[in-house]
Amino acid sequence: MTPTRLCILGSTGSVGTNTLDVVARHPQRYEVFALTAHSRTDALLAQCLAWRPRYAAVAEAQQARQLGAALADAGVRTEVLVGPQALVELAAHPEVDAVMGAIVGAAGLPPCLAAARAGKRLLLANKEALVVGGALFMQAVRDGGGLLLPIDSEHSAIFQCLPEDRDQWASRIDHILLTASGGPFRTRDPATLAEVTPEQACAHPNWVMGRKISVDSATMMNKALEVIEARWLFDLSPAQVRVVIHPQSIIHSMVVCRDHSVLAQLGTPDMRVPIAYGLSFPQRIESGAAQLDFATLGALSFEPADERRFPGLFLAWEALEAAPGSTAVLNAANEVAVAAFLDGRLRFDRIHALNRATLDAVLPEPGAAQSVDGLLDLDARARRRAEELVRSLAR
Ligand code: NAD
Ligand code: MG
């Protein structure tokens, strides 16, 4: 068997390292061709020493020089590239078979889009790329003729509950139910959310993840982004995407069929399961995840999402119903708000206020969502507005 050649965008992050963990279990099946990181070049160096990829890419020239020198000292012949354009080139490289999009934020859009256009097998964890790219992104996947495989655990669950033949999806689905854990503040008194620290917000009860998605889980903006992601991945109307809180994170999501039969995918909360499925689809390979033990599992419970506690969730449907491009505005606002919260410049309970105000203030021009440049302009405009709001809300 010729191994599948992988480009892992964001290899030093939580999803990136989980991907390498799965890949390490199947040395005959996969070959690591390219690894990329934004800031943690020490971690990228260690990965390059272990995996000896053909290419590595970092954000800045200074980092590239240091990494290049350290690799040369170790006798490793990985070529080091630099900057956002290098990510685009690696994602579309003719020798790459599959791309893992594990960058966080809209920064992942250009390389993920390049992979889609080049017809790669695209394993998409980077939900923000799809939230920003929307219809344009899905069109790129169709034009490229490749395969888009969801890595977000909820979307992988839906995908696993659907037939392989996509033409059957529409006639089969009544609606889908994305499960949400409710994050660390599901039962906390909402009146005390002003005092939340980054450490508290990042302490997720069931998953260990990057800091941005951890904060998004605490506000449930993560689920809002996932509602938008699901709308595009499965070509559903906004009303066909629903959310239920399921604190144990054992059922990863459900499909409610036309006949009201409900299909669910279950497993321990471990990202290696959706990653392994993305890598091996339509086959299944060992992931390293523990088995579910039904003897000790206990009860699975469900509750509706409370609008007072999690107002951010409801912005998803609002942005989907608003002018095309509005989901890009929401995403940009949220990226700015979360970064400001993590830097101590914005209170936790003001993240929603900032997202709400940016969505109201930045209206996409007609046609903005029809080109990448239009979307990136809109993203930049929303970020500027959101930064102004951070300054005014901090006062
Ligand atoms: P992370 O912060 O742990 O890692 C992010 C990776 O992207 C790092 O390698 C970092 O160097 C790189 N990166 C960051 N900013 C970049 C930029 N501007 N340009 C290029 N590279 C950049 O994040 P994560 O938790 O692994 O999440 C990655 C993506 O996967 C996110 O979109 C997240 O929503 C999604 N996701 C994560 C999980 C999870 O369990 N961690 C689950 C589902 C979906
Ligand atoms: Mg998820």
pLDDT, one tens digit per residue, over 271-287 is 999 999 999 999 999 99
What local confidence, expressed as pLDDT, does residue 1 receive?
82
Domains recognised in the chain with CATH numbers:
4-151 (3.40.50.720), 164-267+301-394 (1.10.1740.10)
106 has which bridge partners? none
What local confidence, expressed as pLDDT, does residue 243 receive?
98
List the chain residues with pLDDT less than 50: none
Residues 99-126 pLDDT 10s: 999 999 999 999 999 999 999 999 999 9
What local confidence, expressed as pLDDT, does residue 394 receive?
80
Q: Is the pTM of this model over 0.95?
A: yes
Q: Annotate 58-84 with b (16+ C-beta within 10 A) or e (fewer).
A: bbeeebbebbbebbeeeebebebbbee
What local confidence, expressed as pLDDT, does residue 310 receive?
96
Question: If you average pLDDT over every residue of the chain, what do you get?
Answer: 97
- E strand map for the chain: 4-9, 30-36, 55-58, 79-82, 98-101, 121-124, 147-150, 173-180, 241-245, 251-257, 262-266
Complex ipTM more than 0.90, yes or no: yes
For atom 40 of ligand 1, the residue with the nearest CA is 209
Residues 196-247 pLDDT 10s: 999 999 998 888 899 999 999 999 999 999 999 999 999 999 999 999 999 9
Does the beta carbon of 127 sit less than 6 angstroms from any atom of ligand 1? yes
Hey, is 74 helix, strand or coil?
Answer: coil
Does the beta carbon of 152 sit less than 6 angstroms from any atom of ligand 1? yes
What local confidence, expressed as pLDDT, does residue 35 receive?
98
CB 62 within 8 A of CB 49: no
Does the beta carbon of 358 sit less than 6 angstroms from any atom of ligand 1? no
Around Cβ 186, how many Cβ atoms within 10 Å?
A: 18
Around Cβ 34, how many Cβ atoms within 10 Å?
A: 28
What local confidence, expressed as pLDDT, does residue 207 receive?
86
Query: How far apart are the CA of 162 and the centre of ligand 2, in A?
Result: 18
CB 286 within 8 A of CB 244: no
DSSP assignment of 319-378 equals: HHHSSTTHHHHHHHHHHHHHHHHHTTSS-GGGHHHHHHHHHHH-PPPTTGGGSHHHHHHH
Query: How far apart are the CA of 377 and the centre of ligand 2, in A?
Result: 27
